[in-house]
Structure 1
């Protein structure tokens, strides 16, 4: 199988469901529970679409800060496929029950979509009559609805759709970190069914800003892309870069659950405060160049065609420490160090199975650092 084909297969597989590591991370209890203020209300479908069109309901762009939004950058890209979109509209036309949606009410009274992006965007596209540059007509539905657009619905069908009520939970925030942490915990408990968000996708709700933008900048580096492969729709590649940076700076402070460690690191350095952006960029780019030129894309994979996050963070942190100490190791030396690390049975234990324990994280970073220090 060609590399491009393998990348497409990997991407399709990894974007469907949570990985075992992500499931474990989500299931890990927070050390403290945060209170939250919320209300419940119902919106008719036509009213929701109208609010979307005039901007009273906002779907923030995932991963990028917006000073006007207290919870910016939360949502990932639109990921529903046409069959899911069609069947959602069909459910409304049939009067079937559907899941509720969740908003965050800002100080300016706008509603930010915390949960329900796919449903709301589907409604917006159907009412506009266009999706992905093509006319939006129902296809993957019962025969009585096939070929229908919003414009061609019968008056009775249109009233059924327009007047259907969708339950909404509205969580209030004042923009403080404590308030955002409460929203994180609420959403995490409701994050089930359908296409669950990963811990990193939820994390972006807390602390968007310059660090998240910087992560995306590193995520676009050609050498890193060649190593990792196809971009992850679930932003696992971006989260992996965050893990590398957090462990490079704060490995001695690492603790479980990993989600909390990464949340706190992102919060503490939200706008790159305390981080040397130039240094990180140089070290990360140099590591990527050495790894792709030496051991190649297989360096980040262990007994699988998919990227091994524990292995990747260990190699990057160890090699970044080596480069930061001075000198320029050769590509051959880097290749030898990578091979020695992955061949070590003790190291193998720390990059398979439950990899997020304090013991395994500390051990694999120490072993990778030791291997690279010898070149």
Structure 2
């Protein structure tokens, strides 16, 4: 077996690229976290007044505890077992965002705040179940508890670590990442959404809903919950708005690049947003017309299998098609077999290109320059 064949085997299974490990270098003096001890009643009041958001972009995680787990939380409070600390992003005083403690707050809200809807006879209230010590409270709702128990819950103080205004975005991101290490860790894209509120995140969701995109990038429910579709879209937007030649180096480069692009989207005019949307749609249509169901996948004569969707290829092909004019797109579509054959030639014979489309955080220039070379060979 040749050296290139060995290299091919090394990369051929590495299609859906691993998320880059995110770390940041920053001045510790910029971390601004205050400790507060509100009562449960005060936190619930903020929720009721929509000043504490339980589900900004963490909605997939909200309210997933079983009734038994929720009931044991309530029981712990009633028997005076201290709760773990809550972490809350208090950058916006009028709308706190839950960083850690979402399940506990959701359980408390369901037990204490939620009421039976008499209109449609639905009852989402929590009834205590599976209790270990206070078995006499089994099957009771909050309203059915003795007043002393209700008061004990409401007056319980909890520890809240509040990430305050002035803490840099990179620091907040790192805090989010460090805290969310247990259970189902939040993906980088979910964290970006939580930390970059504004029109950009809504724009990502809009583009990800386009049928032209969805027919090419088919993701299972779990990947959709993890916002993989929006990360694909963000890859297009980032490299479309910011040249790959300005891609930063070092650890955390990919996330820094994506976060910069999100900020840039928030500052675009309506006209620029419309143009970006049209470029994305044009790219998706061109990719389908040329590659059909092999769009954004490796294609090889040496390995006949159908490869999975590849984020690196999605970024380079979508940006390339998005920047071409309609005349060049038509030429490529008319010569699509030549384009496909040229692409296959590079996949099967160019070890550096193959490596570049198998690693998310490196060799950016190689993959963009090679795809541009492929396109120019067919256009000329």
Q: Which TM class, normalised by the smaller chain length?
A: 0.7 to 0.9
Q: What is residue 105 of structure 1 aligned with on the other side? A: 90
Question: 1:211 touches 1:269 (CA, 8 Å); kept in 2?
Answer: yes
**Residue range with higher mean Cα deviation, 130-139 or 90-99:** 130-139
Q: How far apart are 1:40 and its partner, in Å?
A: 1.0
1:166-187 C-alpha deviation (Å, 9 max, x unpaired): 321012115xxx7434323333
Q: Distance in 2 between matches of 1:125 and 1:308?
A: 41
Question: 1:25 touches 1:199 (CA, 8 Å); kept in 2?
Answer: no
Provide structure 2 residue ranges, at least 5 long, that are not aligned to the other structure.
1-15, 299-304
Q: Are positions 1:57 and 2:52 aligned together?
A: yes
Q: What is residue 3 of structure 1 aligned with on the other side? A: none
- TM-score, structure 2 normalization: 0.73
Q: Are positions 1:116 and 2:101 aligned together?
A: yes
**Residue range with higher mean Cα deviation, 47-56 or 104-113:** 104-113
1:118-146 C-alpha deviation (Å, 9 max, x unpaired): 43233222324469965344598468587
Q: How far apart are 1:285 and its partner, in Å?
A: 0.5
SS of the residue corresponding to residue 248 of structure 2 reads: coil
Q: What is residue 32 of structure 1 aligned with on the other side? A: 26
Q: Are positions 1:21 and 2:18 aligned together?
A: yes
1:252-276 C-alpha deviation (Å, 9 max, x unpaired): 1012421111122322442226993
Counterparts of 1:203-242 in structure 2, within 5 Å, are: 203-230=192-219, 232-242=224-234
Q: What is residue 182 of structure 1 aligned with on the other side? A: 171
Q: What is residue 367 of structure 1 aligned with on the other side? A: 370
1:9-33 C-alpha deviation (Å, 9 max, x unpaired): xxxxxxxxxx8722x332xx32434
Q: Distance in 2 between matches of 1:105 and 1:289?
A: 42
Q: Distance in 1 between matches of 2:115 and 2:297?
A: 41
The match for 1:280 among 272, 276, 279 is 276
Q: Distance in 2 between matches of 1:83 and 1:114?
A: 17
Q: Are positions 1:173 and 2:165 aligned together?
A: yes
1:337-374 C-alpha deviation (Å, 9 max, x unpaired): 3565366133332232x3211x2x22112222222331
The match for 1:264 among 260, 267, 274 is 260
Question: 2:212 touches 2:284 (CA, 8 Å); kept in 1?
Answer: yes
Equivalenced residues, count: 335
* Distance verdict in 2 for CA 1:173–1:327, change over 3 Å: same
Q: How far apart are 1:90 and its partner, in Å?
A: 1.9
Q: How far apart are 1:48 and its partner, in Å?
A: 1.8
Q: Are positions 1:43 and 2:38 aligned together?
A: yes
Question: 1:92 touches 1:164 (CA, 8 Å); kept in 2?
Answer: no
Q: How far apart are 1:305 and its partner, in Å?
A: 7.6
Which of these two proteins has the greater Rg computed from alpha carbons?
A: 2
Q: How far apart are 1:159 and its partner, in Å?
A: 5.5
Question: 1:310 touches 1:355 (CA, 8 Å); kept in 2?
Answer: yes
1:269-303 C-alpha deviation (Å, 9 max, x unpaired): 42226993333222211221233344334423557
Q: Distance in 2 between matches of 1:181 and 1:201?
A: 15
Counterparts of 1:65-84 in structure 2, within 5 Å, are: 75-80=57-62, 82-84=64-66
Q: How far apart are 1:47 and its partner, in Å?
A: 3.0
The match for 1:87 among 66, 69, 72 is 69
- TM-score, structure 1 normalization: 0.73
Q: Distance in 2 between matches of 1:166 and 1:77?
A: 23
Q: What is residue 68 of structure 1 aligned with on the other side? A: none
Q: Distance in 2 between matches of 1:116 and 1:214?
A: 28
**Residue range with higher mean Cα deviation, 364-373 or 102-111:** 102-111
Q: How far apart are 1:165 and its partner, in Å?
A: 3.8
RMSD: 3.7
Q: What is residue 64 of structure 1 aligned with on the other side? A: none
